[in-house]
Amino acid sequence: MSTAIVAAFREGLERGELLIQKCAECRKLNMYPRYACPFCQSENLHWQRSTGRGRLHSFTVLRMGAPEGFEADLPYALGVIKLEEGVQLLARLLPDAAGDWGSYVCDQAVELAAPPTTQPQYRPCAWFRRSNVSR
């Protein structure tokens, strides 16, 4: 994955920023980032930093059958996040205080978080946690 938009998105994640692509022509937001604006076909595309706030549309905790290279991450949770900017993405979820994900429910508020230090390997994806949980 060596294209410029992937690199820019991932560099943002490494700085702790979730970047949303913004079309300079029609001003619409594109998530996932596109190679041409799907609304007006412009190639004049920039970035906007997300507030990192959103709602959890759905989530799961994978306990068995990890893809190759993800075995050491098990168990881990994935969620579909609807950002307050009106776009959405798939992300990883931090475990709650009990070390599992039992306190998560659909539609609750979530926010961008740093990857946990216990994670065996850095993954170039966004992490979220419940908004009302202090760490």
Partner from another protein, Zn ion, none binding residue 120, C-beta < 5-8 Å depending on class: none
25 vs 100, which CB is nearer to Zn ion?
25
Binding positions for another protein, 10-29, rule CB under 8 A: none
Examine residue 6 and tell whether it contacts another protein (CB under 8 A): yes
- The rounded radius of gyration (Å) of the Cα atoms in the chain is 16
Q: Using H for helix, E for strand and C for coil, what is the string for 3-68?
A: CHHHHHHHHHHHCCCCEEEEECCCCCEECCCCCCCCCCCCCCEEEEECCCEEEEEEEEEECCCCCC
Partner from another protein, Zn ion, none binding residue 112, C-beta < 5-8 Å depending on class: none
Examine residue 105 and tell whether it contacts another protein (CB under 8 A): yes
27 vs 49, which CB is nearer to Zn ion?
27
Region from 14-22, 40-48, 75-83, 109-117 binding another protein, contact rule CB under 8 A: 75-83
43, 34 contact by CB (below 8 A): no
